[in-house]
Amino acid sequence: MKPALKPNPSLARSSAAAKLANSADTRKQRSDGAEARSRLMLAALRLFAEKGFAKTSTRDIASAAGINIASIKYYFGDKAGLYRVVFSEPLGTACQGVDLSDPTLSLRDVLRVFFEDFVAPLKHGDVVQLAVRMHFREMIEPTGLWMEEIDNHIKPSHAGLVAVLLHHLNLSKADDDVHRLAFSLAGLALQLFICRDVIDAIRPKLINTPAAVDQWAMRLVDFGEAMVGMEIARRQMLLNAIAPVVPAKKAKKT
């Protein structure tokens, strides 16, 4: 009968060390991969914003990022795939995954969610400005992504905001003024992106920190609530103006 083999502590420790090393290597690879992807995206964002899609080569991007050109194919498929990701990721989509039509939310709660989510990318500083410039260039030299953005994201977001306004205006169907109000509310936040350079030149402290962006978002809630309140009052005034006047009954003579 063979004697039972005793466990070898050195072997066990060696195996555990190997697993830890492999785990550390895996984490390092993931970390390196995330860093490489981020560097490619930032380099591409700068070049696409400056030169546009057609005049920017994958070689230019890889060189600016200090990354092997093959990494573009690995992470994004091709230049068009990289362009698509860079076009959408930095700015995100306002209120994506948020149900603004929740009837339990007050108007102020809806506006708070809407504006906080809309202006959140401003906390990322220069990256957002580059993304805005890239969007402008896409409008001037279209590749088709801007129309996709309108169809897939902007139209649904606008429709969601219109639905909220219908609920709080107590209307069943949107007329032109409801759409005007929805565009105007979105415009309050949108102008922060478009006019960022102007704000930086005139009053930079209003937008140069995350806390400042949060404070501006809360002011937008106040402004938006006032705009909706004025629209409610305007419509009520119109109803009162066209309401038929019922003549007072004359008292019978005795």
pLDDT (tens digit, 9 = 90+) per residue, 92-119?
A: 555 555 667 777 889 999 999 999 999 9
Q: Topology of domain 90-241, per CATH?
A: Tetracycline Repressor; domain 2 (1.10.357)
pLDDT (tens digit, 9 = 90+) per residue, 217-228?
A: 999 999 999 999
Asked if 44 contacts 61 with a C-beta cutoff of 8 angstroms, the reply is yes
Residue 253: predicted pLDDT: 60
Residue among 203, 226, 204, 206 nearest 216 (CA): 206
pLDDT (tens digit, 9 = 90+) per residue, 127-178?
A: 888 998 999 999 999 999 999 999 998 999 999 999 999 999 999 999 999 9
The whole-angstrom separation of Cα 47 and Cα 66 is 14
Residue 104: predicted pLDDT: 82
- State the CATH class of domain 32-89: mainly alpha
Where does the chain hold its CATH 1.10.357.10 domain(s)? 90-241
The answer to whether residue 13 scores a pLDDT higher than 80 is no
The answer to whether residue 89 scores a pLDDT higher than 90 is no
The answer to whether residue 74 scores a pLDDT higher than 90 is yes
Where does the chain hold its CATH 1.10.10.60 domain(s)? 32-89
The whole-angstrom separation of Cα 178 and Cα 228 is 10
Residue 129: predicted pLDDT: 87
Q: How far apart are the first and last CA of the chain?
A: 133
Which position has the token pair 């149900």?
99
What's this model's pTM, rounded to 2 decimal places? 0.77
Q: Estimate to the nearest angstrom the gap between the alpha carbon of 227 and the chain centroid.
A: 23
Residue 249: predicted pLDDT: 64
The answer to whether residue 194 scores a pLDDT higher than 70 is yes
Angle, alpha carbons 133-217-139 (nearest 5°) = 20
Residue 98: predicted pLDDT: 60
Computed over every residue of the chain, the mean pLDDT equals: 85
Residue among 91, 186, 79 nearest 135 (CA): 91
Residue among 134, 132, 139 nearest 199 (CA): 132
Residue among 132, 140, 131 nearest 54 (CA): 140
